Amino acid sequence: MSLPIVLMTGQLLTETVWQPLLEAWPDREVTVVDNRSDDTIAGFAQRLLDNAPPKFILIAHAMGGFVAFEVMRRAPERVAKLALIATLASADGPAQTARRQGYIDLVESGNFDRVVEERIPILFPEEKRGDERLLGIARRMAADTGADTFLAQQRAIMARIDSRPRLGEIAVPTLLVWGEKDGITSRAHHDEIARAIPGARLEVIAGAGHLPMIEAPEVVVPLLTEFVDA
């Protein structure tokens, strides 16, 4: 019998980002975790653990990866496998903090709608920025998230700790997935995690940006299916 799967979603995103997986796994026990009700990474992680099955496979994207690292610190015995998509283990540097503060300033000045528009060039590769389907999904997820939740997520992200010192303690099968044209996380970020977690492997998704689950489901869905079933 397959283990339950827990999906932890990134900032300004909803369960829509997982739709290709949810459609491909109708007979599996899959939970999409609440990414709206806390303003600290610790709070998100504890909520996940409070609502997850006793033992599960954790698949986390972007901000969800920050939460996944905290889950692995708090309750490593509950996670059977770990998949990390488009994330990084370090804390914010000055450039990232400045970018995030810029988003906060936009929201606080009543321009929340501009946040997603400013993020589109880093979410999607240049050749996909005219793809109305993808842009529509990103805009709807942002609207469904809303300004207040975005600010809470932003506070959590900006205050997160550096997870790199304890990556070597992760002792479960770990898969890293990165879109080669991701404008938010880099190959170096993923190589750093892959080197630190014993036995971790990195899969690079050609032509994809920060949201490979919806950009290249024909690649990502089989990849994750093989990982959870192996």
What integer pLDDT is reported at residue 194 of this predicted model? Answer: 98
Domain ranges of the chain: 5-92+154-229
pTM score, two decimals? Answer: 0.96
pLDDT of residue 1: 62
Over range 174-183, report the average pLDDT: 98
Asked whether the beta carbons of 82 and 171 are under 8 A apart, the reply is no
Residue type at 127?
E
* 5-92+154-229 topology per CATH: Rossmann fold (3.40.50)
Distance CA 136, CA 142 (A): 10
Q: Identify the pLDDT of residue 95.
A: 85
